Structure 1
Amino acid sequence: MNSFVMKCGGSTLAALPDSFFEDLKKLQDQGIVPVIVHGGGPAISETLSQLQIETEFVGGLRKTSEQVLDVVEMVLAGRINKEIVRRIQLSGAKALGLSGVDGRLITAEPVANAAEVGLVGDVSDVNAELVHGIVGMGFMPVIAPIGLGSDGGQRYNINADTAAGAVASRIGTERLIVVTDVPGIMKTESGEKRVLPTVTVEEIEAMIASGDIYGGMIPKVRAAIQCIQGAVREVVIVDGSVPGILSQVLAGGNVGTRIVSL
């Protein structure tokens, strides 16, 4: 399967220019089919606030009750997922939106600190055959990161970065591209910020410890580290507003930050 996995936040995707989606269509026309895993944290927080449902984060994960999970699923699998599918189709490309619940695409188990965070899951399995089938029909899968427990009854909220890394690992793609609103992992040297073209896992851990990597970038790089396994050879963090950015990455261009295992 000539494909790659792309992870993008819902708010980031909504702000991307038409050229980004034209690039997706160009890749699909060339027979390179992206598998998209998306988030939607800001939209979830906004909706919870409108519904006057309290929300909080523990260690970067949203504390998730059944009531919060109803809203997470509604926003991710309903609103955000279909907005992305519509924008892709407006470019002339073909996309199919689904969540990890559909076809038992993502099987999940409770995270280790479930007592603190509630119904948050780690991915235990991915239905790779379903993903391959959708790609084989010529559609880009657009996946909302909701998972089902092994019994098929309990839903779980899954961090989108974690879900993207797991999907990439399980379906055997060579690349995971994380599309953000920053040009890559930045480091301040001699008073100036610059993009690091390549970093190792060890360098990332050191930069987290030193504070060079902080905030929302931490789960992105941690998920990248998790998915450098099996067939995944590289993870690239890029700015989605750069015209033709995906094509540049796939052509081996020196853009963004490439994360490597050694």
Structure 2
Amino acid sequence: MKYLIIKFGGSIFEDLPKSFYDEVVQLHHSDDWQPIIVHGGGPLITEYLRKLNIETTFFDGMRKTTSEVLDVVEMVLSGIVNKKIVRLLNSYGGRAVGISGIDGDLLQSTRTTNNKLGLVGNVQNVNTGLLKNLIEEKYIPVISPIGIDETGARLNINGDMAAAAIAKHLGGALCFVSNIPGIYVNKNGRSTVLNVLTKIEAYRFIKTGDIKQGMVPKVQAALDALRFQVSDVVILSGVEKGNLTSFCSGKQVGTRIVLKEACS
């Protein structure tokens, strides 16, 4: 059995069709793959911050997390979004359980050195024993990316980085689910979806701006994960039926990220 860490953000959450959850449950019931879901919820967080008249500022595309903002982040991620995903998976025949990175010291983190970002952290260790116990009991873990430091303080964790950290510590494959079929770049004046993206190409396309905004942390997290025991990393569309199962069966789908070109 291989672990499949599936990450999707709040921007696609509402667009995921029934077929996506069916595929997750299908993989869970197979003997080959064990899905683990890590989710975001950025748009809904922004909506609730606006409703509550809490000011939000961004630095380099990342939200500054004050204690007041973190209360809302935790409420939305660990409460509203997490439990809705659990309900959906269970309604489609799965057996999901929702937890945050705080539960059981799952995502053991340290605060980022960028003080401008506030209560934002980086994952240093993952309590894989907790995940393995849940999996042994036939659950699908659904994880909200809130970390905890050695003092017991909460930290806001980028969902892509949290998924990569879990993949690094568990092994298996890492799948970033989006609403586009893969990574688009400009080739010969045309926008093209890449089948494969190497480390060298990734840095070049980030520099040229072909890879930008929310795709940058996904690619950076993917490259970081591949340096450890993660077997495969892919960015694919979750709105197209069959993509998850196609990837798990070894078919070409989305954009596969690798450290270097295969030797011919």
**Would the aligned equivalents of 1:101 and 1:147 in 2 still touch at CA under 8 Å?**
yes
1:1-262 equivalent positions in 2, closer than 5 A: 1-31=1-31, 32-113=33-114, 115-151=115-151, 153-173=152-172, 175-262=173-260
1:213-254 per-residue CA deviation (whole Å, 9 max, x = no partner) reads 111111111111111122102210000011111100011111
Q: Secondary structure at the match of 1:238?
A: strand
* Corresponding letter in the other structure for 2:207: A
Shift of 1:172: 1.9
Post-superposition Cα deviations, 1:42-90, rounded to whole Å, max 9, x if no partner, equal 1101100000001121123210011000000000000000011111111
Separation of aligned partners in 2, 1:215 and 1:11? 13
Aligned counterparts of 1:203 and 1:188: Cα–Cα separation in 2 = 12
Is the 8 Å Cα contact of residues 233 and 260 (structure 1) preserved in structure 2? Answer: no
Task: For 2:61 and 2:122, locate their aligned partners in 1 and report how far apart those are by CA, in whole Å.
Answer: 14
2:84 alignment partner, SS class: helix
| Divergent runs of 4+, >3 A | none
Aligned-partner Cα distance in 1 for 2:88–2:48: 22
| Aligned-pair Cα RMSD in Å | 1.0
Contact 1:96 1:141 in 2 (8 A): yes
The 2-side partners of 1:92 and 1:183 are apart by 27
Please, what TM-score do these two structures have when normalized by structure 1?
Answer: 0.96
Distance in 2, Cα, partners of 1:14 & 1:138? 26
- The answer to whether the 8 A contact 1:128-1:170 is kept is yes
TM-score by length of 2: 0.95
Question: Displacement of 1:160 after TM fit?
Answer: 0.2
CA distance in 1, matches of 2:185, 2:80: 36
Q: What is the aligned residue count?
A: 259
- 2:171–2:231 contact (8 Å) kept in structure 1: no
Which deviates further from its counterpart, 38-47 or 24-33? Answer: 24-33
2:220, 2:118 → 1: CA distance?
A: 21
- Structure 2 CA distance for aligned equivalents of residues 229 and 137 of structure 1: 30
SS at match of 1:15: coil
The 8 Å contact of residues 8 and 38 in structure 1, kept in 2 or not, is answered as: yes
Which structure 2 segments of 5+ residues have no match? none
After superposition, the C-alpha distances for 1:173-209 in whole angstroms (9 at most, x for unaligned) are: 2x10000011111112233211100011110000010
SS in 2 for 1:233: strand
2:94 partner SS: coil
SS at match of 2:176: strand
